[in-house]
Amino acid sequence: MNCDRAKSQIFPYVDAELVRELRPEMEAHLAVCPSCRRLVEHELTFRDRYVARLRPDPAPAQLRESVDHLLGGLVGVPVATRRQRWGAWIASGMAALLLLGLGIALGAGLQSMRHRADMLAELTEASVEQHQKLANGQLPPDLIDGSPRTAEAWFRRRLDFNVTLPELKTTNLTLLGARISHLGSVPAAALEYRLDHRNVSLFVIPDEAYRRLGLSEKPKFKRLNHRGYDVIIWRQHGTGYTLVSEIGTRSCLVCHTPEEKLDASFESVPHRRVSPPRRTDS
């Protein structure tokens, strides 16, 4: 079972509704995949903290006795009166069910928001980590001294999503190299640039992975700061982009010309740290 398949089965798994044949396969995957295991742990923690509170408490014994007494008192009551009482009780029950449904819907909405925030945090964390490894030479490029067009063709032979790179002619910008990378469980085209004597990393990710982040379309550019690095995320050409540097919005010159005046389109997005995976004894 791969990560995409496992993530699609997380909710049935934690609800104990996953078919018996898939449970061993799911648990075997979770045992070796910290990313998917962390999502399951977050889901279980969220349910313990929020969803459990929406479940109604058992009725007190005194209330149950009162209801039994009222039901017993219906014996011998005229049909019309009995119907009126039943109508009132049914209306009260429907109101209670409506409130419960609203509570469950609110819980599901909070759960979805939390899941998207976790995915954004995971992408940001992984982007900064990969940038540091690229800058320190821990991840040597597979393609060196190539132009953006050469890099595009190289990626398209190896990735199943569109990789579009700008061809900018500036004296202070150099494409150092390119390689296939992963941001967590997301495949990415990784490019290392040198701009104003500083390293800038550009990661191109599938549109599907970008959409799972749940970011709004406007403004176009979302900016986060994590561990002293600026992380800028946006979508263009049906593809997601993540830019990491220590030079703020000036790093946008990797992909955009100064005439585009992008600064007014930036929105800061709060970043929440991803909890490290729980250690398990071997």
The CATH number for 216's domain is 3.30.200.100
- CB neighbours (10 Å) of residue 17? 9
Nearest CA among 257, 260, 148, 251 for reference residue 194: 251
Neighbour tally for 219: CB within 10 Å: 13
SS3 180: strand
Residue 22 lies in a domain: no
Domain extent at residue 219: 113-268
Query: Does residue 240 sit within a domain?
Result: yes
pLDDT digits (tens, 9 = 90+) for 2-43: 888 888 888 888 777 788 888 888 889 888 988 888 888 877
pLDDT of 138 > 90? The answer is yes
In a domain, 182, yes or no: yes
Indicate whether 95 belongs to any domain: no
All residues at 6 or more sequence positions from 222 whose CB lies less than 8 Å from its CB, including other chains: 215, 232, 233, 234, 266, 267, 268, 269
Residue 20 lies in a domain: no
Q: Give the model's confidence band at 268: pLDDT under 50 very low, under 70 low, under 90 confident, else very high.
A: low
- The whole-angstrom separation of Cα 195 and Cα 183 is 23
Backbone phi and psi for residue 171, each to the nearest 5 degrees, phi listed first: -75, -25
- Does residue 66 form part of some domain? no
Residue type, 174: T
| Axis-axis angle for helices 79-135, 34-46 (nearest 10) | 150
Residue 129 lies in a domain: yes
6-20, 27-41, 101-115, 128-142 — most confident range: 128-142
Structural domain count of the chain: 1
Nearest alpha carbon to residue 188 among 144, 155, 231: 155
Average pLDDT over the chain reads 78
In a domain, 218, yes or no: yes
Give me the pLDDT at residue 257, please: 79
Q: Find residue 186's DSSP bridge partners.
A: 183
pLDDT in tens, 163-217: 999 887 777 889 999 999 999 888 999 999 999 889 999 999 999 999 888 888 8
Alpha carbons 98 and 80: distance in angstroms, whole number: 27
- Alpha-carbon torsion angle 23, 25, 30, 36, nearest 10: -90
Nearest CA-CA partner of 202 in 247, 233, 159: 233
Alpha-carbon distances, residue 57 vs 52, 53, 60, 68, 266 (angstroms): 10, 9, 9, 19, 47
Per DSSP, the residues of 62-129 read: HHHHHHHHHHHTTTT--HHHHHHHHHHHHHHHHHHHHHHHHHHHHHHHHHHHHHHHHHHHHHHHHHHH
Q: Which residue has the tokens 């490019």?
A: 191
